[in-house]
Every structure is written in C-alpha cells, then in structure tokens.
Structure 1
Amino acid sequence: MLKPKTRWIVRKHLSDETVRTLSNELAISPLLAELLVNRGITEVESARCFLFDKGESFHDPFLLKDMDKAVRRIKEAIKNEENILVYGDYDADGVTSTSVMVTALQDLGANVDYYIPNRFTEGYGPNENAFRLAKSRDIHLIITVDTGIAAVKEVALAKELGMDVIITDHHEPGPVIPEAFAVIHPKHPEGNYPFPYLAGVGVAFKTAHALYGELPENLLDLAAIGTVADLVPLLGENRSLVKAGLKKLQQTSCLGIQAICRLNGVSLEEINEDTIGYMIAPRLNAAGRLDSAYPAVDLLLAEDQETALSIAEEINRMNADRQQMVNEMTKEAVEIVETSYPPDRNPVLVIGKEGWNPGVIGIAASRLVEKYYRPVIILSFDRESGLAKGSARSIQGFNLFDSLSECRDLLPHFGGHTMAAGMTMKIEDVDRLRSRMIELAEEQLNEEDFIPQTEVDMAINLEDAELSMIEELQLLAPFGTENPKPTFLLGDLAFRNMRKIGADQSHLKMQLASGDASLDAIGFGMGEMADHIAPQSKVSVIGELGINEWNHIKKPQIVLQDIQVKEWQLFDVRGMRQLDKWMDLVPDDRILIVFHEDTIARLRLQPLEKDLVVVSNLEVAANLDISGRNIVFMDLPPKKEYMEILLSHKSPDRIYAHFYQEKQHYFSTVPTREHFKWYYAFLLKQKTFDLKRYSGDLAKYRGWSKETIEFMSRVFLELGFVTIEDGLISLNEAPAKRDLSESKAYREKQEQYQIENELLYSNYEQLRDWFNQYFYLSQNHEEETKTWI
C-alpha cells in the first residue's frame, strides 16, 4: 500500500442535460463540457465566449468609483506641468503596476517619476519619510499603485504637506478608507464595479485605459505578467486581460522581457502563463526580495537592448541568490518548528529569527505550509529597532486577513488577502500573536481541515488520454487561480520502466499501461516514490495531462501530482546483506519480525530494538496484529504454521521479505530414501562404524557432505534403528519397522527444505502468490488454527 499525500476529492460525474447541451451546441467533447459546468459555466453563450472569443469584453474603467475625479486631476497635472510621483510596491505586481502607470503618463506628456520603498529599511506601503521626501522634490501629485488602501496616516500627512494623493490598489480595504483625493479600488465599499478581483496592475491598467480614452494594448503584456504573478482569480476581466496579454507577450516590444527570455532560453512564441509564473515573475520579484526593486522597473522601462540585457543579467544573478537563501532559511525554519513548536500542538506556526532576509520569508512560509499544512507566519527580527517583519500564508478554511484583523492591536502595520499577508510588529508581541492565532485556529478549524486535499476534476480511462483530447483542453487556458489546469484521476493501472531521473535523481518517470493503451508519466520531485512502489503493483495517479514534444514528435503525458497503491505491496530484499542499504526505505509504523533470537545479534539489529518483535511461539504469532503496518520478515520461520497464523485474515500495508538463514538446507544434500537405504545396508555390513574418524571419508567416497552422514545417523537414532556411543554407531537387532517421517529431525529437515524452496528461492511472482494465499484463507481454516495455540 502507498497512501496518497492528500485527500483526493473527485468531483461528482455529471451527465445531465446541461453537459449534453454544451457539447452539442459548441461541438465539443462531453468531457470538456463537463469541465465547463464544473467551473460554473453553464450557459451556451458564456461558454462560447470563454472558449472561442478573444476574451470577455473589458468593463468601462469609469465604472470604478472616483475614476472620473482621478482622470481629471491627472490631466490637470499634466496640463500644468506638475511633478507626478508614481508610488509602487516591490513585488512583481507592484513593479508591473509602476511600469504601466509610468508608461501611460509618459505617453501623455507628464513630468513623472516613480518611487518604490525599500523592503528592508521602509517596509511595505507608503511611509511618512517617503512622502516628506516627495514634497522636498516639489511633487504635487502622488499616485499609488498596488498599495495605499491602508495608508490612512500617510495620506493625511500628504494633505498637510499640500500634495494630492490618488490611490489605486486592490488589497482588502480596512475599516477606515484614507481620505485621498481619489480612491480607485474594485472593492471600494461605496463602489459597484462589476469585477472585484483585479490585481494591482489590473487597477493601474484600468486607470491607463481611462487616461488614454481607449484600451491600451501596448500595456497588455505588462498587465498579464502582474495579474498572473499576483495569483488573482483568472476569471472574468482578469482572464480577458491575461488572454489578450499573452498574445501581446508573444510579440512583445518590451526590451526587458525580451532580454529575460533570451537569457533563459525561452522563445517569445512559447510564452504562456507558466512562463510568467515560473520564469518571469520570480525574477521580477527577486530584485525587491534581496535589495531594491528599482532594477525590475528599470528593466521593464529600458529603452535600449544593451541596458536591458545588463539589467536582466543582474536580475538573473539575484534570482539564483534568492533560491539559495530560501533553501537555507527553510531548513532553519523546519528545525525551529520541530524543536520548539511541534505541529501537533500548534495549529498555526508562528516563528522568527534574527538575520532572516525579510524579502524571502514569504517563500519560506509557503514551503512550511506545504510541509506541515498549517497557517504559517515567519518573522525576521531586527533587535536594534525591536521590530519583526513577517509574511503569512494560510490554508483552506482559515481566513488569514480576517484573523489578523482581530489582532490589529498587535499589528500596527499589516495588509493582505485571505491566503497571504505581510506585517510589521514589535518583537515583544510575537508570543501574544502566536497565542491569539492558535486560539482563532482552534475556533475555526477541525482535524480534517489539517489534512491537505486535492480537488480532482474527473476520473478517466487511460484510453481517453489522447492527443486530440489534450489539445482540446487548451481551450480552457489560460490557467491559474480559480481556473486551474484540470486534474484527472487514472485508477488501478499497471506500470512499466519506472526509474528515477535528473541529476540528483529527484524526479520520477514511468509508463502507465492498461491493455494496449499506455501513457508516459513524470513526477517532478517525486523520485523517492520509486522506492515505495513494488513490482506488479497497481497504481492510481492524479495529475495534469499535457503534451511532450521531442524532435517534432508529440506524445501525451501526465504530470503527476500524487500516487496511490490501494493493495498490500511486497518488497523483495532477499539476499541484500547491507541492511542500511534498504532498511531506511521502510516507512515508520513498521514491525521487524524475528523468529530466531540469535538473528538479532547475527544481523546487528540492536539499534532497531524498538521495532523488533521476536515471534518465538505460535501464541505470539496469533496475537501479533500486523494489519495496516509495514512488516519486515528478518529471518525464516521454523515452521509454516507461524506464517499462516501471522498472515491469515490480516492486511499489512507492506511486506519486506529478507528471510535471513544462517544455514541453508536447500543447497545441502537432502538425502532421499535411496540414500537412507544404502546407508542402512552399509551399517548392516559394518556392524559398527566410527563416525568421528571415518564419516568424512565415507561422505567423500559417496559424494555426499559430512553433514548428510550425521543427519541420517540422527534420523536412525530417533527411529530406534541404531545406538550411538562415543561416536560409534551400531545397528540395533530386529528394530521395529517405522517410516522416515516419524523422525522429528527428518520432518524438520523436509519442512526447512520446503520453506527455503518457497520463501527463499522462489521468484518474485511466486512469493507474492504465496503470501496472497494466506491473506485469503477461509474462516473455517482460521477456526482450526486456534487449536494449535
């Protein structure tokens, strides 16, 4: 058995009239129609627009509250040649928002500059020092992008200093809205904008749209990057923006984007949402995570190729440094959790350390959520200032923003969303924050909430995973939050050619098979699974279907997310001498079964004492519950009854068959009745025979082993055929006729021979069948075995 890492929640199969209608009206497969319905798209025209049009129409930007006021004030500033400052944020959404707004204002002839606070010295959002600096530079109008909705005090200061502030933001509004000249926000409490889920760059783009008087197609590429990077729902207007923006990116004139793609071996024609999420956005984020975000904006605004390439190289280096830093921080964070805040007693993990880079703690927080599936807050302590800067990430069912809002008295500066947030607080308040968040989690979450789950769109047959079907799925793209790539379940399949791949063997590759159909499967970061899937097991997998193209040959494949083996598994470790080569691969919850106590010393099993069980008699075998456990048979049992009682009507998850045997009977000479007949005739002729002196000579003469002579002598003694004194064996006169099977030594020899033959020298398939016969013994036979105890 191999348990999945998450709970698989498979959507209920739909075969209703809506699916049939969409399939017939749009000439699409029932499978694609069902996926649409599962995404809440049930009307034919909505589905037609979603799949085939350029995208849903963009809403009128003047539907946003205060947009008319903002446009009038900006155009007035341009006309009067006032100095305008675009105040942005240091993440990918923030730098693209800044670039969009600066470009639009430059196109309209404004005197514009931009400012992005330093994450390390200023923290998130507008701050008073920055606004005072703006005043000293004769700034008349400040336009915030992707920030500002929480800047109540800072906006008030700007008014005192004689500067107007226009806020464009998308973060959750707090209880008090800043008294800015204009507040453009899709969730403005007094507004009624039809789409509330715009990213910061989406709000900046709408403002540019209003300023231009027409859709600014030249800014679609930047808007698409920020929208994908900020993980907002890719539905409605966001989907329209990204869909159009990806087409623009594939022929972008932005020299900075061109340079990043060229340095990382990506052709513009291949850009999709994954390119943004895994290549472009992390690099734009890297600058602000490690130092100043200015290089990221400078890259997007670069006006010559040499400058763009130089900045792109710098950002690439920053991203590599960021990756190393995150790995080290995550390792340290895991150590702190394991030693000080065990997850079983901490439904929310709140940890911190001096010296951690505040720019990457958000990524480390996400890593810890993946590992422990708990809401996580990671803080970087600055002892000089007494402040802690933190990032938080959540799980389904725990609204991070609402929970942190209940701790506002401890958080003088914070903002974010349901699933992510950032904050600055006093170090001395961290313990209080931890206690409160734990209390809130205990109120809101139950045990099941701490088991991660994966929503599976549908179960399909392997035969369905064809190129044409996978190509049709691309009509659902672009994929992202609230419109994820479909996840499919393929159940109870055989597999072939399973192996670890990659420089560090960290990835898994195999071929799934069912009848004549097959499908390549790859699991990134799942290489260790190869050690936990036994030959001939049937696997069930979930993952995303895609197309692998190599040398112009297209083949369907599934990118694995999780694997399950429902039945017990047999791992053959017979003959493996070095225990450390395989024992570490046996999962926890294991039982190491030893039938002979001296095996412990022979195999040096003392360090594994807590997992050892010595099955010294049939009663121990009967009372040992192996169901749901990982069982290791360290040595061979003395009798088959031991195995039968151990296994009958029990269901272990896994069996590791080692079956160490100090003395092997199978390859020694096992005497037949002809052997015994000849030896008896020999003793009859000799009358007496000195075993100590001549047994070796006799064995050599007959081509037997010395042990064979000794064994037959012992059998004759047990049957009363001979006497043995001081090594001299003599036949008894007129012994009673008895069968060889009446000798205990003979029976044990035959038993051991049979056990070795069936358990040690069988092939894998024979051994697996041997175990299965005992798992499914009849109830009557089980009742009989009770008499053996």
Structure 2
Amino acid sequence: MLESQSNWIFTYNDKDGVDTENLQNVNVSPVVKRLLLQRGIETVEEATNFLNPSLEQLHNTSDFSQIDKAISRVKQAIEHGESILVYGDYDADGVTSTTVMVEALRESGAMCDYYIPNRFTEGYGPNEEAFREAHRQGFQLIITVDNGIAGIDEVAVANELGVDVIITDHHEVQERLPEAFAIIHPKCSENYPFKELAGVGVAFKFAEHLLGYFPKQFLDLVVIGTIADLVPLKDENRVLVHKGLQALSRSERKGIKALKKLCKIEGNVTEEDIGFRIAPRLNAVGRLQDANLAVDLLITEDSEEAEELAEYVQELNTERQKIVADITKEATDMFEASDSDKRVIIVAKEGWNQGVLGIVASKLVQTYYRPAIVLSIDSETNNAKGSARSIEGFDMFQNCMKHKDLFTHFGGHAQAAGMTLPLENVAELEMELDKLAKGQLTEADYKPQLTVSGSLAISEIDMELLETIDQLAPFGMANPKPLFHIEAIPTEMKQIGATKNHLKVKFVESGIQLDSIGFGFGDKATSVAKQTPIEVVGELQVNEWNGIRKPQLMIKDLAVTSWQLFDYRGVKNWSSQLDENLDNHYFVSFQGNDYNGLTISDKETVLSVTEPIDALYLLDLPSAVTDLQELLNKVDFKRLYVCFSTDGDYFRSLPSREEFKWLYQLLLKRKYFDYKTDAPKLAKYKGWKLEKIKFMFQVFHELHFLTRQDELIVLADNPSKKDLAEAEVYKARKNQLELEELFIYSSYTQLKTWFSEQMNKAEIPEEEIVYGL
C-alpha cells in the first residue's frame, strides 16, 4: 500500500445520471460531453457558447452602474484640459490594467499620466500622500485600476482636496464603500451579469465604453492580466482569454515582442506561457522595485527601449527567484523548528522582502497544505506587513474580516490577501485564525484535492483523444485541465533527473505504450513493489520529439491500494534502502537473531500490535510454517519485506534412501570410518558436499545405527530396524527444506500468491469455512 498525497475527488460519477441526450446535437466526442457536464454545461446553447467563444457573448458595458456618469466626467476633463492620473497596482493585472486605461485615455485626447504606488513604502491601494501629491501636481481626476474599493479614507481626502476619484476595481467589496465620484465594479453593479472580471477586464470594459467601439488592440494586455490574476475562465473571461491568446500570439506591441523573445516563446502563445513565463517577469518588477517600469515596457513604442527594459525585467526576475528561495528556506526552517500544531502557518521576520512574501506563502501552502501568512517586520514602526495564501475550504478574506480590528490595512480574496498589522497583534491573529480553522476544516481538508474527470484504460489514450480534449481550452481557474485516473501494472519504473528526484513510469497494454512523468515523485520508485498495480492521476499532454507526437501522462499523484510484497531475498545490502523514519516499522526474527543494530521484535510482540503496521520485515525463516501463517492471519500491514538470506542452505534436497543405503553398505564393508580423513575423500569420490555426509551420519547416529570408538565411527551392535524419517534431525531438515523451497526458492509470483492465500483465509467468515462455500 502507498497512500496518495492528495484527496482524489471522483466527481464524474455525479453526472452519470444526467441525461446526455440534451447534448446529442453537439458534435463532440462522448469524453468531451462528459467533461462539459462536469462543468455545469447541460444545454446545446451553453455547449456551443463554451466550445466557440465569440465576441458576441460579451456583455454590454452599459450594464455597469455609474459607468455613464464616469465617462461623462472623463469627457468633461478632456474638454476642459484637466489632467487625469491613472492610479494602478504593482502586479501583472495592475500593470496591464494601467496600460489599457492610459492608452484608452490618450486615444480619447486626455492629458494623463500613471502612477503605481511603491509596494515597500506605500503598500497596496490608495495612498493618502500619493493623492495629496497628485493634487499638488495639478491632477483634477484620479482613476484607479485594479484597486480602490477599500480606499475609504483616501478617497475622502481626495474629496476634501477637490479631486474627483473614479474607482475601477474587482476585489472583494467590504462593508463600506468609498464616497467616490463613480465606482465601476461588477460586484457593485446589480445588472452586470458577470461578477468575476479581473482588474484588467474592468479597465477594458471602461475603455470600450469610453472609446465607443470594441478595442481589439488591448486584448493582448487583457489576456495577460486575466490569466495572471487567477480569475475563473468562464463567461466573459473565457472569451477574453480565447481571443486574447490569438491577439498575443500576433501582437506587434514592442514590449510584448521583447518579452516573448526573452521567454523563448514562438508561434501560438498558450495560457501556460503567460502563467509561467510572461506574468512572473511582469510581477517581478513590482516585487523588487517600482512597477512603473513594467508599464513603461508595455507602453513604449521604441523597439530599442523595449529590449533594454525587457532585459532589465529579466534580471529582476532572476534576482526575485533567488530571494524567494532564500526566504522560503528560512520560513520553512522557522516552521519546522516550532513546536506548534497550529492549523494556520504564520511566520514573521525582520528584513524579509515584502514583494515576494505572497510567493513564499504559496510555497508553504504547497508544502504543508494549510493556510499560510508570511510577514515582514518593520522594527521602526513596530508593524508586520505581508501576504496570505489559503487552501480550499478556508476563506482567508472572510475569516480575517471576522477579526478586522487586528489589522491596520487588509484586503484580498478567498485564497489570497494582503495585510498590515501591529506586531503585537500577530500572536492574537494566529490564535484566532487557528480556532476558526479547527472549527471549519477536517483532517481530510489538510490534503490537496485533485478533481478526477474520468478513468481511462491505456488502450483508450491516443492523439485523437488529446485533440478532442483540447477543444475545452483555454484552461485555467474554473476550467482546469481534466485529470484522468489510470490503474495498471507498470512495465518500467525508474528515477530520472540529475538528482534522481523525478519518476518515469511506462505502461503497456494491448500493444499501446504510455510514458508517464512525475516531477518530484522520484522517491516513490522504491515504494512500489514489482508486478504491483498502481493507480495514477494525471494530466494528458503531447510529447513531441524529433517530429514524432505521442501522448504522455503528467503524474499529479499516485497510490497503491493493496498490500505490497518487496522481495529482498539474498540481497546483501537491503538495510541500506530503509526509510529514514522507521516509526511503525517492525523487524521480525523468528530465530531471535540480531541484525545490524535494528530493533528486533519476536512474533508475539508483533501479534500484540493493534493498529495497522506500515512495514513488516521478515528477517529469517520461521521454525514452522504455522508461525508465519499466524502473523499473516492476525497482523494488518501495508508493506511486507522478505529479507531471507540464501546463505547457509546446505543442499537443495534430502539424500535419497539409496544414498543412505550406499553409505551404510560402505560402513558394513569397511567396518569403520575416520571422518576427518575419509569424509573429504568420500565427498570427492561421490560429488557430495561435506555437510551432506555429516547430515547422513547424524541421522544414523540418532537412530543408533552406529557409534563412536575413539576417533572412529563404527557400526552399532544389533541395531533396531527404524525408518529414516523417525530421526528428529531428519524431520527438522525435511521441514527446513520445505520452508526454503517455499520461501527462498519460489518465484516472486509464487511467494506473493502464497502470502495472499494466507491473508485471504483470515478474511473468510467462519460459516463459509464450515460449509466450504
């Protein structure tokens, strides 16, 4: 048995009862129909819209509350020559939102500039000093993008100064709203049908309403911010991302071309290219310094400047990666060193770079799968500032809002948040969140969840299937790549990579081969016994090499649900493969021997264990088969290791009666036998081992067929007639040979079959045994 690292949620059975006839007119494979049903798409119209995203599916910008009021104010500013400040945010969604808004305003003839607060000195969102500085510089209108909905006090300051504020945002709405001139927010607009736009999506809608036409030129920016901000890729977001990927693939924007070149992106851009290459580089700027540089990159029309800025962005990203690694190591060490059993991780230290704490929190969540808050301490202000990331089932925003009085600043989503609080409040926050987590989460919640879309046989997996599944792209939040469950016996399993940290598994069924790769699963190679069926959950993808394209499974988790037999018979150094942690591992010696300093248990000790045993090691042969049968019948174990030595077996069979007769006849003829002198000669003459000769004389001696005179072996006078099998030494050796034949010289399959039979006997109800059913 090998436990999975995640909880596998087999949701596809939930839809088995749904009448798929509703989708019979949708020209897709049965697999795609099942996947559509799992996504809540149950009508032809819904399926058609989902599979064929089009601009016609986008909602009317007029449905936003106060958008006409906001646009009128912007046009008034343009007519009167007022200066407009676009106030942005420092992540990828924020910088793309800023770029969209600035370019739309400038196209409309506005005099505008942009400002992104410094993460370290000003923090997230509206900033009073920044608003006052904007007033001093003559700005009469501020438009926020991707922030502002929590800026109650700051907007009040702007109002006092006579500066109007238009908020465009998408973050969670708190109890009070700022008294802004206008608020453009899907969750503040009762009539707007879709509430999950990213910040750049809201800015794009504002730009569309301002310009009076659909601004396709901004789609390459919209797709970056939407994917980077992890909003659900459904409804409008799906359309914007679908069209945006096409726009990004052919974008002539100088900054984007420079970024794609650095990222080595050629041809069609995918959602993975944005999530793992483009967005992290844009985010790196705001994490380490002033994010205005990222806007400069996206907005520049000079190719040379774009390449210089992109190179600098690349350097910042490399630096960011090192800083993240260093802080993650420190944070992990701090948590490991604590004696706390808190369900929410909170670590804080002075000097940590605030810009990367969200990434560090994410890594802690990935490692320990519990909510995590990582804070940087400012000793001068006695404040702690940082980021939070959460797990499924624990809404970080709602739970923190229950103790909002502990924070100086707070905002975010269910799974991510940012905060500032007095240092003395950190311990109380940890205590309160821990109480909430213990009340809301079960033990099962502290394992990642993998939603399984279906089970497949190896023979079902081909390129046609992959091309069919690709009809559901683009994938992302609320439309994840489907994960499939496979159960089969691997034909090959080995560690790969420079540090042997990864796992390669090969399956073959009905002539079809499927290669599988599990990154970070290298240690599982020694945890799966040969000829053992394993269950794998993974993501199907295309592996292309030398122009040959074939399916490949990217392993997300694996498990073995049955007990496993590990065959270490005759292996000299089997103990070198032991786990570092030997808790709940039992080493059984039937003969009471010591082995390399291991803690040895006898049969009775193991029989007294009531909980399931992780690993049971059999170090030597029992004196009787019944001893081992009793263990197998009564002990519950996950893995069984057979470590019998093959040294010391004297011969593979008992001497025959003819051989005993021949030796006795020799004694009759010679009258005596000098063992030291004659035994080696006899061994050479007959081709027998000395141990065999010694054994035969032991049998004769026990049966009183012979005796000793000084150093010589001679026949006894008038011996009684007895059968060879009456000798105890003969019985013991016969029993030993039977044990060796069964446990040492049997094949792996034979041995496992025998073990399974003994365990199955224990599971047969008494009535079945009695009646032989």
Same fold, judged at TM 0.5 (above): yes
Match of residue 216 from structure 2: 217
Deviation at 1:376, TM superposition (A): 1.6
Instruction: Tell me the alpha carbon deviations over residues 236-278 of structure 1, each in whole angstroms, 9 at most, x when there is no partner.
Output: 11111111111101101122222222222221x2311111111
Report SS of the residue matched to 2:213.
Answer: coil
For 1:2-55, what per-residue CA distance to the aligned partner results, in whole angstroms no more than 9, with x for missing partners? 222222221226455741231x21222232222212211122112112112425
Task: Report the CA distance between 1:126 and its aligned residue.
Answer: 1.9
- Choose the corresponding residue for 1:641, options 626, 636, 639: 626
The answer to whether the Cα contact below 8 Å between 2:568 and 2:574 also exists between their aligned partners in 1 is no
Q: Give the CA deviation at 1:581.
A: 3.2
Is structure 2 residue 164 aligned with structure 1 residue 164? yes
SS in 1 for 2:119: coil
Partner of residue 406 from structure 1, selected from 402, 405, 411: 402
C-alpha distance in structure 2 between counterparts of 1:6 and 1:588, whole Å: 22
Q: Which deviates more from structure 2 when the two are superposed, residues 11-20 or residues 329-338?
A: 11-20
Superposition deviation, residue 63 in structure 1 = 1.7
What is the 5 A alignment of 1:85-484? 85-188=85-188, 191-267=190-266, 269-342=267-340, 345-484=341-480
Change (3 A) 1:620 1:781: farther
Aligned to 1:629: 614
The code of the aligned residue for 1:120 comes to F
One-letter amino acid of the structure 2 residue matched with residue 640 of structure 1: V
Q: 1:127 to 1:222 in 2, by over 3 A?
A: same
Supply the AA of the counterpart residue of 1:497: E
- DSSP-derived class of the 2:419 partner: strand
Matches within 5 A, 1:633-712: 633-648=618-633, 652-660=637-645, 663-666=648-651, 671-692=655-676, 695-712=679-696
Aligned residue number for residue 575 of structure 1: 570
Q: Which residue of 1 aligns with 2:698?
A: 714
The code of the aligned residue for 2:597 comes to L
Q: Does 1:80 align with 2:65?
A: no
Distance 2:356 2:230 in 1: 17
| Pairing of 1:553-564 with structure 2 (within 5 A) | 553-564=548-559
Other structure's SS at 1:160 match: helix
Match for residue 546 of structure 1 among 541, 544, 554: 541
For each residue in 1:379-413, what CA deviation from the matched residue of structure 2 results, as whole angstroms up to 9, or x when unmatched? 12222321111211122222211111111111110
Question: What are the residue-to-residue correspondences of 1:463-542 with 2, within 5 Å?
Answer: 463-490=459-486, 492-542=487-537
Distance (Å, rounded) in 2 between the aligned partners of 1:227 and 1:726: 99
Is the contact between residue 512 and residue 519 of structure 1 (CA under 8 Å) also seen in structure 2?
Answer: yes
Looking at structure 2, the residues matched to 307 and 589 of structure 1 have their Cα atoms a distance apart, in angstroms, of 63
TM-score by length of 2: 0.93
- Residue 614 of structure 1 corresponds to which residue in structure 2? 602
CA RMSD of aligned residues (A): 2.7
What CA deviation, in whole Å up to 9, does each residue of 1:658-683 have, x standing for no partner?
2135523347x964434433332333
Distance 1:313 1:716, change over 3 A: farther
2:726 paired residue number = 742
Distance in 1 of aligned mates of 2:746 and 2:294 = 64
- Give per-residue Cα distances to partners, 1:671-698, cap 9 Å, x unaligned: 4434433332333344444435654454
Q: Is the 8 A contact 2:53 2:238 kept in 1?
A: no
For the residues of structure 1 that align with 2:765 and 2:187, how far apart are their CA atoms?
Answer: 70
* Alignment check: 8 A CA contact 2:348 2:377 kept: yes
Query: Identity over the aligned pairs, expressed in percent?
Result: 46
Residues 379, 329 of structure 1: CA spacing in aligned structure 2 closer, same or farther, 3 A cutoff? same
Q: Aligned partners of 1:284, 1:278: CA distance in 2, in Å?
A: 11
Q: Does structure 2 conserve the Cα–Cα contact (< 8 Å) formed by 1:649 and 1:776?
A: no
Q: Give how far 1:354 is off.
A: 2.3
> Structure 1: which 5+ residue stretches go unaligned?
none
Q: Which moved more, 1:350-359 or 1:93-102?
A: 350-359
- The one-character-per-residue Cα deviations of 1:747-773 (angstroms, maximum 9, x if unpaired) are 322333333343334333333233233
Distance 2:53 2:606 in 1: 69
Other-structure match for 2:714: 730
Q: CA deviation at 1:727?
A: 4.6
Distance in 2 of aligned mates of 1:199 and 1:537:
47
Q: Corresponding residue for 2:20?
A: 19
Contact 1:195 1:236 survives alignment (8 Å): yes
CA distance in 1, matches of 2:466, 2:393: 32
The structure 2 residue matched to 1:758, chosen from 742, 757, 763, is 742
* Corresponding residue pairs, total: 767
CA 780–28 in structure 1, closer or farther in 2 if over 3 Å, else same: closer
Amino acid at match of 1:309: E
Q: Which amino acid aligns with 1:293?
A: A
Q: Do the aligned partners of 2:263 and 2:278 also contact (CA within 8 Å) in 1? A: no
Deviation of the 1:375 alpha carbon: 1.6
Shift of 1:165: 1.6
Is 1:20–1:30's contact at 8 Å kept on the other side of the alignment? no
Cα distance in 1 for partners of 2:575, 2:148 equals: 58
Q: Larger deviation: 674-683 or 397-406?
A: 674-683
Give, as a single letter, the amino acid of the residue that structure 2 aligns with 1:776.
Answer: N
Comparing 269-278 and 55-64, the one that deviates more: 55-64
Partner SS for 2:466: helix
Instruction: Give the Cα separation in 2 of the matches to 1:51 and 1:27.
Output: 10
| Distance in 2 (alpha carbons) for counterparts of 1:621 and 1:448 | 29
Q: Which moves more between the two structures, 398-407 or 55-64?
A: 55-64
